[in-house]
Chain A
Amino acid sequence: MYNKLLQRQIDKYLKAAVDIPADLEAFFKAVSESYDHYEKDRKMLERSIELSSQEMIELNKQLRKEAEENSRIVYEKLKESLVLLNDENDEILPADADPYKLFHIADLLKNETERRRRAEREQAQRQRHLQSSQRIAHVGSWELKFTADGEVPVYVSDETYKIFGIERGDEILTSEIFYRSMHPDDREMVANALAEAVKTKKPYTTRHRVVLPDGTEKIVNEMAEIVYDPKTGVPLRAIGTTQDITETISTNRELQQANNEIRTLFENMQEVFYSVDMQTNQLIQISNACEEIYGYTREEFFNNSNLWFDVIFEEDRQIVYNNYPAMQAGQPFTQSYRIHHKNGGMRWLESRMRPILNENGELVRLYGVTQDVTRREEYELALKTSNDELKKTNRELDKFVYSVSHDLRAPLSSMLGLVEISEPLIEHPVLQKNMAMVKKSIIKLDGFIHDILDYSRNSRLEVNKQQVNFGETLEDISNNLRFMSANEKVRIHTEIKSDVPFFSDKNRISIILNNLVSNAIRYHNPNIPDPFVKVNIDVSEQSAQIEVIDNGIGISEENCARVFEMFYRVSKKSVGSGLGLYIVKESVDKLGGTIAVTSALNKGTKFTISLPNLNS
């Protein structure tokens, strides 16, 4: 949490919904802390200054008045008593003086002494209070008497000594020291202020620098009242305070700097920041970017509270109305509409709004950040158009690939048919051998077209999510592979654990399993008695774990790393196009799954696939 004042500023200029960039966060934190300190200091200062500047002068005056009053009363009383005494004895108290009268004087004196002691205690208390408040506020008080020889300090508080960097006792703070401590450049200014005060008979206030004996510089606020002789108008005394505001000033300066930085930041952003008082519908703030985005100046916005709405395209105004309930409910919202720029052009704007409710739930304030998204909208439109075109091209391409593959495969299957019906009729061994080679070539070419078709469709077609029945899929695959030459030797075991429905792309799963199983059959080990391929499938809510394990000829370690590469063929024995496992990997990727292979030469190969269950 930032300082409230800063938070308000951030809310005002940035939108709270916007995440503050990490690099700005440290900066904001520092600003927030300095706000905190400043607030604490300021409160204490304010309290103390209040106490010191006004109460203290009052207090001083009162004390003085009381002291004078006290002396006067005592003097009157004594005079009265003496007159009483003198009534009977002219000059000296006679030996036979009335004892009562003597007692009366003694009583009087005793009472007076007690009263004075009490007053002294009270005064001491007040003095202590004064001292602590002066210490807290860094305010010193003093009183000077104007004499023929210049000003002579009558009273100087401890805090005053402290401010001037002088130890009480070491040196007496004379008016000479007062002036000497003043920064040379400020002396004239202070003298002028004093002269002006004397001339106008008004209190004076100055802010000047003080140079301490150790050379440090301080900034002080000095306030003083001058007491004049009521008859002659000659200044008699000056009663004043000196306040050390060095810290306040530097805090203020830091704060100012932070403030400036934030301001610069906001003013230079391309977005328009603004706040509106929703009870009076008055614009409170708007940043300069409005001139760029709307073409209207800040003044124009201030003069017309509805300007922002008037420029919105009529057909887009409903968007604003639609967000009215959200605004009334204090929910942040974003709206996007077109406006007529002052230059006549169209702009797409996007406004992120943050309404503020008071404790009664009434809308009081609205903060907004508006940015020009014209180019983005244009890009999006262009993107959508080209995307539509692309989709169309894709469909056409799919159709094309389909036709081409069909037209390529059709004559191949005719050839295969012819070869197959001719085979039993051929008796010549060379012709038989040649015919077998023709057949092999046809099958290979057909497989290649098959692969290209699979590849092309996998790379272009979206994932078609549907429920997958692994049992059926594997049965189809076994049926299709039945006519593979080696198939009668290789047994296919399947084990499927599937308690929950599995959703994915049936076609791609079929391609994946078909490739892996046919590979296992194609590369079985002819030297072992029981070549097999095992397919284990374990379906859960999250995924399907598929293992295709064989005891075939295996793949060497260095080849394992490359089997998924396009057109990579492991060995001379490879008979395929080099596309099969590449397509498997691509298909697994499309389905968001993973595939791994482990293998040992002459031992067998194991493919492990994990496919996510797209059931959500």
Chain B
Amino acid sequence: MEQNTTCRYKMVMIIDDNEIDRYVGESVIKMHKFAEAVVNVEAAKDALDYLIAHQDQPDLLPQLIFLDINMPEMNGFEFLEEYKHLPDSIKTNCIVMMLTTSLHEEDKQKAETCEYVYRFLNKPLNPEKLNSMPILPGCNE
């Protein structure tokens, strides 16, 4: 991939049931060369399946997950409950960002008390928000 040296992240995962938001997210990330690869999943369950399936393949594991809250079947918080029990190989090199339209203060507080959640962001994803992401060590900016 020709963008290899300029991307901040190797792999980013977007978990969102809304197709447009996934599209916008992926477009912004690609447009601003934020990550080399984006894994788009429309359900939290699919995300868990993906993570477990690739737990021994670090190259295919995301370093950053944008997680929506309001989703059918399994919502963002339920996902975080499951995520807790995943092997460390998955979690060690990964941070979770809540990305939602929720204005609920309780949602924000709940998200921020979770040890795996780095921050709580409101949609839509844009370059300013991407710039506020932490710079991962080992990433050649």
A residues touching B (Cβ–Cβ < 8 Å)?
402, 405-406, 409-410, 412-414, 416-418, 420-421, 424, 450, 453, 480, 482-483, 506-507, 510
Contacts and interface: CB of A to CB of B under 8 A. Distances in A.
B124 A414 contact: yes
B124 A413 contact: yes
Interface stretch (B19-27, B49-57, B77-85): B19-27
What 5 pairs between A and B have smallest CB-CB spacing? A417-B124, A417-B24, A413-B123, A414-B20, A409-B101
Interface residues of B, number: 20
A406 B20 contact: no
Given A402-B104, A453-B103, A420 B28 contact: yes
B122 interface: yes
Nearest to A480: B122
Interface in B1-35: 18, 20-21, 24-25, 27-28, 31
13 contacts: A402-B104, A405-B103, A406-B70, A410-B123, A417-B20, A417-B28, A420-B124, A421-B31, A450-B103, A453-B103, A483-B126, A507-B105, A510-B105
Contacts of A402: 104
A406 B101 contact: yes
B125 interface: yes
Given A405-B103, A406-B70, A406-B101, A421 B21 contact: no
Nearest to B129: A483
A507 B128 CA distance: 25
Interface string B94-135: 000000011111000000000000000011111010000000
A410 B101 CA distance: 6
Q: Is the interface of A mostly helix, strand, loop or mixed?
A: helix
A416 B126 CA distance: 10
B54 to A, nearest CB: 28
Given A420-B124, A483-B126, A413 B31 contact: no
Contacts of A507: 105
Contact of B103 (A409, A424, A482, A483): A409
Contact of A421 (B28, B101, B128): B28
A403 to B, nearest CB: 9
Contact of A417 (B70, B102, B105, B126): B126
A421 B103 contact: no
Contacts of B104: 402
A421 B24 contact: yes
Contact of A406 (B21, B24, B31, B102): B102
A506 B112 CA distance: 15
A399 B24 CA distance: 28
A507 B108 CA distance: 11
A414 B18 CA distance: 9
A510 B108 CA distance: 13
B30 to A, nearest CB: 10
